[in-house]
Each structure stands twice: as C-alpha cells, then as structure tokens.
C-alpha cells in the first residue's frame, strides 16, 4: 500500500469515526442536535469519508456524503441565524 493510500484510508476512518461519534453522543443525550460539536463532527466526517469515496471511485458513497455535507452546512447556517451567531454548546 502506497503512502497516498495509507493517508486516504486513515482520513476515511477518521471521518467515519467522527460521524459515528456525533450520532452516538446525540443518541445518548450527551450532545444536542443543535450543538456546534455535533454539526462540526458531521460536516468534517462527511468531508473525510467523501474524499475517501472519491479516491476509490465509490460514487454512491461519495454522493451520500455530499448530501450529508450539504445538510450539515445548511443546519449550521440555520442554527447560526436562529441563535444570533451562537450555537448550543451541549
């Protein structure tokens, strides 16, 4: 496995972990669905998994992660406008 492949795989796993962590913490009420941490984990995770999918030409995975990213970015925009530039901290 080349160095490039190792980096791409590592980033993909980090992204997958970020998305799972976000889901876990919201599901167990450690974070709220409106928290900055939750949305940043989702957005960051979707970018990393999407890059991994692009590298491997896994188009269905890439598309779902682009959609996930758009939803996350839109949620950040909506929450920012509702909260007067502040998101929930929990």
What pLDDT is attached to residue 25? Answer: 97
pLDDT one-digit tens code per residue, 23-79: 999 999 999 998 999 999 999 999 999 999 999 999 999 999 999 999 999 998 988
pLDDT at 81 over 60: yes
Could you tell me the pTM of the whole model? 0.85
Please name the residue that has the structure tokens 């995770």. Answer: 45
- Measure Cα distances from 6 to 1, 10, 35, 55 in Å: 7, 6, 32, 12
Annotate 23-51 with DSSP letters as a single string. HHHHHTTSS-TTBHHHHHHHHHHHHHHHH
């Amino acid at each position: 496995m080349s160095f490039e492949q190792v980096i791409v795989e590592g980033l993909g796993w980090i992204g997958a972990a970020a998305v799972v962590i976000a889901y876990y913490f919201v599901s167990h009420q450690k974070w709220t669905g409106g928290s900055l941490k939750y949305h940043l984990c989702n957005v960051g995770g979707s970018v990393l998994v999407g890059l991994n999918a692009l590298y491997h030409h896994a188009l269905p995975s890439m598309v779902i992660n682009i959609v996930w990213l758009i939803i996350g970015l839109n949620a950040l925009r909506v929450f920012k406008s509702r909260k007067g530039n502040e998101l929930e901290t929990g």
